[in-house]
Structure 1
């Protein structure tokens, strides 16, 4: 499917709220009933049913048919596309701040950090091979344990515009190798690449 351009505030707000947009995933992959999608996502039926109503009203989801069964037939839905492009102009000021700011991630990280902090024994502050300062929480050479926190921060990379694009592409490729897995625990990942000049 070609990318579907989002120009309405309601649809833009839904697609830029991570927890809500996650609920659209099964319908972006294939035609689904709400019950099947709820089982796939591991969320309560009522929560997904409510979100489906909002997705339909915002034009992100369409009714594709009904599946016969004893009693009432089950309605099937499909996302209008498997790729969306959100016009930033469609976002309210609050939605822009939430999308580009740290509010959502800060709340999630602080909440999890309180639970995971007991696993963090040391904060490493060191210089990398190029002399840049690196602040790293968690084990230096081991991946974070389930429920643990691992953070790496550095403001010392020096990249040409092409190198920055290459790094972005490389990071996306690494992330893609882990996406779509059914096993394991959900983890959050945030990567910011921005010009500090």
Structure 2
């Protein structure tokens, strides 16, 4: 995360320097017009990204407390998905398990989904990107009684973003998930 702040700071510094250089070359009036056009473009991109979010149901305090016990149901595995990323936090990530859309996560939020034992595949996309094809994403195996935790992260690319899921050890992830105040109810409680 600190690496991102350095990159953003350098980009902002380059932008300010570029503005003043272009202002000196083109004049103040033309640069005002270029600046306004740039603000409109940024506003349209932000509006486009945020309108793909959908209404998700928040879990009740009882559901959250039960989920934070980190215990699976009998004969099932419990999968915890969470996002606590600062960058892109307002844009929802649509999470797919075995090609089926199960939840949308904004940051900082988490959800809990029960899985049947066996092989599964998890993938995700934001509303402006295309839905992942079958076979894309992270393959994992769930055994009865397992408690699996995956961190969902949005990574910026040259054009668009990719969604990455990182499996974490339960002990290490327990504190991260516990810090997140909001839990969303998944669209599908069990796969």
User: TM bucket by the smaller chain?
Assistant: under 0.3
| Greater strand content | 2
